[in-house]
Amino acid sequence: MKIGCIQMNMRFGKVEENFERAEALIREAAQGGAEIIVLPEMWNSGYALEKLDVLADEHGERTQAFLAKLSHELGVHIVGGSVSTKEQDGFYNTMYTYNKDGEKVGEYNKVHLFRLMDEHLHLQAGSDMNRFQLGELEAAGVICYDIRFPEWLRAHALAGAKVIFVSAQWPTPRVDHWKTLLQARAIENQCFIIAVNRIANKKENFNGQSMIIEPWGDVLWVGGDEEELAIVDVDFSVVDEIRTRIPVYEDRRPSLYEGVVTTK
């Protein structure tokens, strides 16, 4: 299956420009043969958290209409990265996923808010998992900081996900963490990780390095430090083979993990 990864340079606070650029790249990916197209985190507004009252998508209505139209028109699945959304109780960082028939199959509010970027001061945290099907493919989606919580991604893998999509705005100073964590999540869950990061100018400090990693931890593709559209062929059938060869899921002892006391 061909995966289109859109390592996009969104404009800070420029919603109209970002929608235009995202559409152009989605159309280019579809024309290039991509069957699943993946966007980065908060692509509609960037991290303009103090301006969410005027920038965030009300109930996600514009984004949902946008993704539904393009997925149906182009006949592609779209993992819609995430966008800033506005609900009655506050603002969220929300991922929408649409199948190739233009049907919404996933909606997810980022669960783990990143304090170093003051997300907890501006956003509400979600509380639900994000599993969905794209055709016959069992999949899941998380957002950026979520990858530092292995138990969260494991929960999605245990529920059946064979690929976990990650949309991010991961900063340059911690790019080594990004790469290591993504490989670890792929290996320990014996699943594919398809992670799409943003790029930006040096002042904003985001340098891409999007990745596709197979269940053995081998990197199939890594992006550079400029805006990029990559179309990569991925064979998801190897997941079952690998899980059979090293039966990690059968050898788990969850009764020992539950209720373990943790301290700060």
Q: Which residues are catalytic?
A: 41, 110, 144
Instruction: Give the containing element (helix H, strand E) for 7.
Output: strand 2-7
In the numeric block, which tokens belong to residue 92? Answer: 């969220």
CB 56 within 8 A of CB 91: yes
Please give the backbone phi and psi of residue 116, each rounded to the nearest 5 degrees, phi first.
-65, -20
Q: How far is residue 39's CA from residue 168's CA, in Å, rounded to a whole number?
A: 9
* Token pair 């090293």: residue: 246
Phi, psi of 64, rounded to the nearest 5 degrees:
-65, -40
* Dihedral over Cα of 48, 49, 50, 53: its sign: positive
Tell me 66's DSSP state: H
Residue corresponding to tokens 């514009």 = 62
Backbone φ and ψ for 96, nearest 5 degrees, come out as -110, 140
**Under a CB-based contact definition with an 8 Å cutoff, are residues 83 and 65 in contact?**
no
Measured distance CA(10)–CA(45) in Å, rounded? 7
Interatomic CA distance for residues 174 and 71, integer angstroms: 33
Distance CA 93, CA 125 (A): 8
Q: Token pair 């430090």 is at which residue?
A: 225
